[in-house]
Amino acid sequence: MDLLSGIPVTAAGVLVAIAFAVGGAPLFALGRKAFRLRGVLRSLAERPLTADLTGWVNVRGRVELLSPMFAPLSGRPCAGFQLEVSGENSRVGGTIGEWRSFRLQHGDASVFVSADSAEWHLPVTDERTLPAADPLPERIAQLLDSNAETRWLRDRRAPLHVVERALEAGATVSVLGVARHEREIARIENVALAATGTDDGLTVEVEAVPGNGATGDALWLAGDGELSPGVRVFTDAPDRRSLEPSPWLVSLLGVGPVLTVAGLLYLARAAGPLVSRRF
């Protein structure tokens, strides 16, 4: 029995059927990705950091910096920060962030954590209101000018409310990602610290110099590339259920094929008269 027999064939219907037939495949792909990610998250449990990590893992350890960086408000050493800026009595605002890879250490074991496309869940480390009449430290002024929304607020001399979230050195974090070994060339970093004479504190210059050419295996935590573009970093133990894809995303695993089949059946029904005239 043709389930679509009661639907008249129209030009608009043909267009919708084409959209169903073409769009079903990407919807199925989204559903399949959500289903696989849900399975991975449900099978993971936080485990000790060891040197033999492989595949999807959830490990906890202490943050150690690979290069010097300081949070712009609190001034504490960190592996990255995010500033949430909004104008007082205004809905205009923006987010500014800078992140670097870091080393996760636990006992004698360590792993490098990639900052590429990472997702950060961090606490508030400082909060401040910046009056329009007060001069800003150079570093903060540069950060605010790097964002179109915050630059617009500054041009209109609006008081700014700034919330800082930073991944501080020495913090204990939980990291969810894929562990893999990568070959790397040894490098040496020369770090020069120079006082600036302003309330920005210190200016940091890092010069990377090639090492002696020695190579070795380094253990990295990074994204999957397919299921998750980057690692997820939490200062508190993550809520598993909040990390899982929503049920409606998983349902696309079945919705996609249904739409494709429905679209193809409608198109076949619409093409029936044309085919019968040719034979």
Cα–Cα dist 29/33, whole Å: 6
pLDDT score of 2: 55
Give me the residue spans of the domains in the chain. 1-46+245-279, 47-183+214-236
Q: What is the pLDDT of residue 97?
A: 92
Q: Show pLDDT as tens, one digit a residue, over the chain (279 residues).
A: 455 566 777 888 888 888 988 998 999 999 888 888 888 888 888 888 887 888 898 999 999 999 999 999 999 999 999 999 998 777 788 899 999 999 999 888 899 999 998 999 999 999 999 888 888 888 999 999 999 988 888 888 888 999 999 999 999 999 999 988 876 644 444 444 444 444 444 444 444 444 444 445 788 999 887 788 889 999 887 776 777 778 888 888 899 899 898 888 888 877 766 555 554
Gap between the Cα atoms of 237 and 56, Å rounded: 17
Q: Which amino acid, one-letter code, is at 209?
A: V
Q: What pTM does this model have?
A: 0.72
| Residue-level pLDDT at 278 | 52
Q: What pLDDT is attached to residue 107? A: 86
Q: Which long-range contacts (CB under 8 A, 24 or more apart) does 21-27 make?
A: 21/259, 21/260, 21/263, 21/264, 21/267, 22/263, 23/256, 23/259, 24/256, 24/257, 24/258, 24/259, 24/260, 24/261, 24/263, 25/256, 25/260, 26/256, 27/252, 27/255, 27/256, 27/259
- The answer to whether the beta carbons of residues 72 and 166 sit under 8 Å apart is no
